[in-house]
Amino acid sequence: MKFGIFDHLDKSGVDLHQHFENRLKLAEIYDRAGFHAYHIAEHHGTPLGMASSPSVFLAAVAQRTRRLRFGPLVYTLSLAHPIRIVEEVCMLDQMSGGRLELGIGRGSSPYEMAFFGVNAQNSTELYIESYDVVMMGLKEKTINYEGKYFQFKGVPIELECLQKPTPPIWYGMSRPDAVPWAAQNAVNIVCQGPAAPVKAITDRYREVWSQHHNASRSELPLMGLGRHIVVAQSQEEAIRIAKKGFDAWYSNFQYLWRANNHPLKGYSIPENFEEARAQGIVIAGTAQQVGELLEQEIEKSGSNYILTRFAFGNLSFQESKDSLERFEADVMPLFTKATELA
């Protein structure tokens, strides 16, 4: 079992300079503790995400860590020029010694896309074309492409990634019918929400994977499950801290939707804290309780990668750090020992 981190870098209540520094200090702990990768979101015009230019922040992460892998989850390809993405990806992979994990996506917020003149009608086409160009630019020295939105003839690519043919690719997944492309192309996936619907996705992934890859020679890609986690000395303290942070995080999450008089409904993570906790999406308790609950979520979801969140909403740096260090000391070893015994 591998553990990673997912981080919106949503506003926490401290000034922005300190906010970034706090997250970089936590990244140093992730690096020391042996987390697999640190994944950050891209958002625009909302307190949900302060890393609106993921590459800028990740360049700092590259310099503050040594082993930790990292990357955007995701680059919103419908909002960016693909050649610029190619160049930034190559630079980050080289600057980090080949530690980049490349998340790609179309974007989900119509309000954020509208800031860039993109709408629901053209975002999918833009995403598909941009993805094709990015993959071409990472694998070849010249881009020749003819599409509806992008046309390139003989564009030279002087930069290259250290990882060949590309860094590992990541994609957000919410439905089993979207699985085949990811499984066939060995793309890592990330799921949110309750474990039962995620199990349908991971089961489908394993099925398609086995049909297209030699299981004895190929390692199964990572199928991630996102969970908010707080580890404290008592369950009462953990729940108090988790509720405070979760409520503030959800307010950030809903910000643009509420500002446009259209609160988001039907999202895979419920807004009510107790409901989210009952569904296993928020895990708060002592180290023993968190370990037991995580084990249940892994079994119910079929995931082989847990994307933890220790910093969210208005949690203080110290609250996140204490929770993270308890997790490192008393929870992660439980899964290391389980792997050794398996």
Q: How confident is the model at residue 217 (pLDDT cuts 50, 70, 90)?
A: low
Residue 307: pLDDT over 50:
yes
Asked if residue 305 is part of any domain, the answer here is: yes
Asked if residue 134 is part of any domain, the answer here is: no
Asked if residue 59 is part of any domain, the answer here is: yes
Asked if residue 332 is part of any domain, the answer here is: yes
Residue 48: pLDDT over 80:
yes
Taking the model in full, what pTM does it have?
Answer: 0.96
Which residue carries 């204490």 as its tokens? 322
Residue 337: pLDDT over 90:
no
Collapsed DSSP state (helix, strand, coil) of residue 132: helix
Residue 316: pLDDT over 50:
yes
- What is the rounded average pLDDT of the residues 307-316? 98
Q: What is the pLDDT of residue 336?
A: 81
Q: How confident is the model at residue 108 (pLDDT cuts 50, 70, 90)?
A: confident
- What is the rounded average pLDDT of the residues 163-178? 95
Q: What is the pLDDT of residue 109?
A: 93
| Domain residue limits at 208 | 2-73+173-341
Q: What is the pLDDT of residue 213?
A: 86
Structure confidence by residue, pLDDT tens digits, 56-104: 999 999 999 999 999 999 999 999 999 999 999 999 999 999 999 999 9
CA angle 249/254/255 to nearest 5° reads 95
Domains contained in the chain, number: 1
Asked if residue 234 is part of any domain, the answer here is: yes
Q: Which of 41, 47, 46, 48 is closest to 72 using CA atoms?
A: 41
- Asked whether the beta carbons of 128 and 196 are under 8 A apart, the reply is no
Q: How confident is the model at residue 216 (pLDDT cuts 50, 70, 90)?
A: low
Asked if residue 135 is part of any domain, the answer here is: no
Residue 341: pLDDT over 90:
no
Asked if residue 69 is part of any domain, the answer here is: yes
- 125 φ, ψ (degrees, to nearest 5): -65, -40
Two tokens at 284? Answer: 């708060």
Q: How confident is the model at residue 133 (pLDDT cuts 50, 70, 90)?
A: very high
Which residue carries 């071409």 as its tokens? 136
Asked if residue 139 is part of any domain, the answer here is: no
Q: What percent of the chain has pLDDT over 70?
A: 97
- Any idea how long the chain is? 342
DSSP H helix total and E strand total for the chain: 12, 12
Structure confidence by residue, pLDDT tens digits, 177-207: 999 999 999 999 999 999 999 999 999 999 9
Distance, in Å, from the CA atom of 223 to the CA atom of 117, rounded to the nearest integer, reads 33
- 153 φ, ψ (degrees, to nearest 5): -135, 110
Q: Which of 107, 108, 105, 49 is closest to 249 using CA atoms?
A: 49
CATH number at residue 52: 3.20.20.30
Residues 6+ apart with CB under 8 A from 115: 44, 45
What is the chain's mean pLDDT, rounded? 96
